[in-house]
A and B are shown apart, each in its own frame.
Chain A
Amino acid sequence: MTRGWIALAAMCSVAACRRPPQPGEPLRGLSAAERARFDSGKVVFDSAFTPEKGLGPLFNGRACASCHEDPVSGGVGEEVEHHATAFHPGGPGRACDELAALGGPVFQDSVTPLLRAALGIEKEPVPPQATAIAERTSPDIFGFGLLDAVPDSEILKYADPDDRNGDGISGRPNRFLDGRLGRFGRKAFVPTLREFNDGAFLAEIGITSPSVPDEGTVAGKPLPAGTDPAPDPELGAHSLELTDAFVRLLAPPAPLKQSSEARRGSAIFAQVGCAGCHVPTLRTGDNPIPALSHKEVAAYTDLLLHDMGPALADICFGLATPSEFRTEPLMGLRLATHFLHDGRAKTPEQAIQMHDGEGARARDMFEALPAADRAALLMFLKTL
């Protein structure tokens, strides 16, 4: 009898290991130490900061999980935040000014009571130098460690800035301020996941750290005295590392089992040209974490910039012009409740219909499909 229970328990254990990761679960194959860092990092990710613990004085959320929360930590959020930049093409300098000297590019929508009392503001004012203000939704961040592990060369092999193959899709890389290849953010501006995470503590929560030790400004002006009582750094290096471990080791949601209709939709997805930008898989390179090393990641992105037409255009960022956006990864798409960079599309179908520029040809081919084929493609998207 006991032997039977042991066998059953062993079978259940194996089955659990083989069960694809659910949203919020870690990558399969982590060591015990990696798993422990993931679990500890989730605690920091979920921790809500107060002004006494360093929150603000400008902030968008009180915790990482304030905006990445649905259905679990690391998921999507309903919040919309505001970025602003100035775009001056044809001038003597860089065409894009991220307004870093004036508090940009992230203009926080909340202030602490001390800052409100000192300045009488409810949010960081956007300076008149801005040429555009963008709304940004919070995407899920599942599988981002795998995106981070993709070598630059894997991304650059899809770049075709002069459209030499004549398919109407160019794709060009963005660069960070120091010249490195960017890949994170809706404009592919940030080179690494670690930098994205570390920067977000300040830009989103107002938390200083060893990576970003200075509190910043209010629209370019120094903080009024006494409005940020917590000593800097407000978060230690260990907490930063743990948070990064949690985000890095979050597994991408496994695609759902596909019906025959969805499988047909997958083929149509490629036939109409969606896969020209939404490249189905990327491959990671060498990585010190075995679970991230030499893996296929079904990200459905090329991590490059594409011109999406004037109707979607908003801010510039690095080399990205207002109408250029990074191909949005579609992994985990079924978890999203709104679509495109600012959430203006309520359904995947609306999002497709709003594609323009380099996406116009694929959009037109989608719209020209028989209804059953369109439905099959949308069914496929619901499995991601």
Chain B
Amino acid sequence: MHRVTLLSLASLIAPLALAAQQPTSPPAAQPTVPHDSVRGAIRAVDVRARTLEVTTGVGYALRVVRLQVPASVPITDRKGGSQGEPIKLAELKPGDVIRAAFGGRATGFVAYTIERVGRMESTP
């Protein structure tokens, strides 16, 4: 019984392991693994340059994270109970609270996913 279980597991894992070894070609603009994540308020959106500036920090130690947003990056809306509908970069506004996963590139930080989760208001 024990051997059967191990063999069953092996038969499940082996194809996955093989698949993991296959060379894949992720979209050129996206890092394969999130390097970091940020949650903060949008400071500026440049639709033409496809960049975002997000103000974030800990206590009074604040910083601005600049993100490049390639066209392939999924941007979704979870504000006010939304279910994650896709939205465009141009729909993001200063003051929106977002959560973004991003990775580092030689050209700077590149967004991986962006979710709008609220807005900086007394009643968000």
Contact = CB atoms under 8 A, between A and B. Distances in A.
Interface of A: 83, 92-94, 97-98, 100-101, 104-106, 159, 161, 172-175, 177-179, 184-185, 189-190, 195-200, 202-203, 211-212, 214, 216, 318-319
Contact of A216 (B40, B44, B53, B63): B63
Contacts of A83: 60
The 5 tightest CB contacts between A and B, nearest first, are: A199-B59, A93-B94, A100-B62, A199-B61, A101-B64
A93 B96 CA distance: 10
B97 to A, nearest CB: 4
B33 to A, nearest CB: 19
Contacts of B93: 92-93
Contact of B58 (A97, A98, A106, A211): A211
Interface residues of B, number: 27
B59 A100 contact: no
B16 to A, nearest CB: 34
Interface stretch (B21-29, B103-111, B113-121): B113-121
Given A100-B57, A190-B60, A199-B58, 7 more contacts: A101-B64, A105-B60, A106-B60, A175-B124, A179-B124, A199-B57, A199-B60
Given A177-B40, A177-B41, A178-B41, A319 B57 contact: no
B22 to A, nearest CB: 36
Contacts of A106: 60-61
B58 A177 contact: no
5 contacts: A100-B55, A159-B122, A179-B117, A199-B58, A203-B59
Contacts of A185: 60
A156 B59 CA distance: 21
Contacts of A174: 122
Residue among B39, B55, B56, B58 with most chain A CB within 10 A: B58
A256 B43 CA distance: 47
B53 A94 contact: no
A94 B59 contact: no
B45 to A, nearest CB: 9
Contacts of B122: 159, 161, 172-175, 319
Interface string B31-49: 0000000011101100000
Interface in B63-104: 63-64, 93-95, 97
Contacts of A214: 63
Given A93-B43, A101-B43, A177 B120 contact: yes
A345 to B, nearest CB: 24
A179 B55 contact: no
Contacts, number: 98
Contacts of B58: 195, 198-199, 202, 211-212
| Binding site secondary structure of chain A | loop
B121 A319 contact: yes
A214 B122 CA distance: 30
Contacts of B121: 175, 319
Given A93-B44, A94-B43, A101-B43, A179 B118 contact: yes
A200 B97 contact: no
B57 A179 contact: no
A177 B59 contact: no
Contact of B64 (A93, A100, A190): A100
A173 B95 CA distance: 16
A377 to B, nearest CB: 31
A335 to B, nearest CB: 23
A197 B117 CA distance: 26
Contacts of A101: 43, 53, 55, 63-64
A94 B60 contact: no
A195 B56 contact: no
B63 to A, nearest CB: 6
Contacts of B59: 184, 190, 195-200, 203
Nearest to B95: A94
Contact of A98 (B62, B97, B124): B62
Nearest to A104: B62
A198 B119 CA distance: 25
